[in-house]
Amino acid sequence: MMDLQLTAPLKDAKLNRYFNILKLALVLMPFLCLGYLTIGAGGASLTADGVLAGNPAMAVSFLSAMIQPYAAWLVILAERRLADGRTAWALVNLTLLLVAELMLMSTVGVIGLGLIVWKTGRVYALRPAAAFRQCDKRQFVREAGGSVLVILLAGLCLFAMCRLGLAF
């Protein structure tokens, strides 16, 4: 039988487990939000004149939940970079994703990515500031462009939350 494994195992089994839990939580986030919207709608439709148009706060939270699967895919890429030995780029991507999760105010994402960044720093003896200094800046867009895109989308959500009075 062929073993189907997306990434090579990492140095630490706990770190591997943390990655798997975070990926699962981020992928399930839109479904949980959709379920919350359906329950909160009380049977109303989710069309343009439904819940999302009637409650802009729910629309913003739905948009931020829809960003999470893309963040999970970027976590998979960072895990592959760790397995390949590109530790600095993996830590840069994870740090940028942590900033995006802070902007999205996602408790699960902040706790999960914070734990992974901390554990990665301990296991691989590299801190985020040192990782930023170690990386070649000419390859930044190629290696960390996806995380920058998530930060831009998170900034859009943060701006909308501030305008609605939901942030801070």
pLDDT 10s digits, 76-114:
999 999 988 899 999 999 999 999 999 999 999 999 999
Rounded-to-10 torsion of CA 38, 40, 45, 47: -90
pLDDT of residue 8: 59
Question: Averaged over 136-150, what is the pLDDT?
Answer: 90
Residues 6+ apart with CB under 8 A from 67: 100, 104, 150, 153, 154, 157
Q: How sure is the predictor about 42, in pLDDT bands with cuts at 50, 70 and 90?
A: low
| pLDDT tens column, 108-131 | 999 999 999 999 999 999 999 999
The mean predicted confidence, pLDDT, of the chain is: 86
Q: How sure is the predictor about 44, in pLDDT bands with cuts at 50, 70 and 90?
A: low
Is the pLDDT reported for residue 134 higher than 80? yes
Contacts 24+ apart (CB under 8 A), 84-89: 84/8, 87/120, 87/124, 87/126, 87/131, 88/126, 88/130, 88/131, 88/134, 88/135, 89/131, 89/135, 89/143, 89/144
Question: Averaged over 44-62, what is the pLDDT?
Answer: 69
Backbone dihedral angles phi then psi of residue 3, each to the nearest 5 degrees: -85, 120
Angle at 126 between CA 7 and CA 77, to 5 degrees: 25
Higher pLDDT, 36 or 101: 101
pLDDT of residue 3: 44
pTM score: 0.86
Rounded CA-CA distance 26/33 in Å is 11
Residues 6+ apart with CB under 8 A from 92: 128, 131, 132, 135, 143, 144, 147
Contact 1, 50 (CB under 8 A): no
Share of the chain above pLDDT 90, in %: 55
Higher pLDDT, 5 or 63: 63
Backbone dihedral angles phi then psi of residue 37, each to the nearest 5 degrees: -65, -40
Is the pLDDT reported for residue 43 higher than 70? no
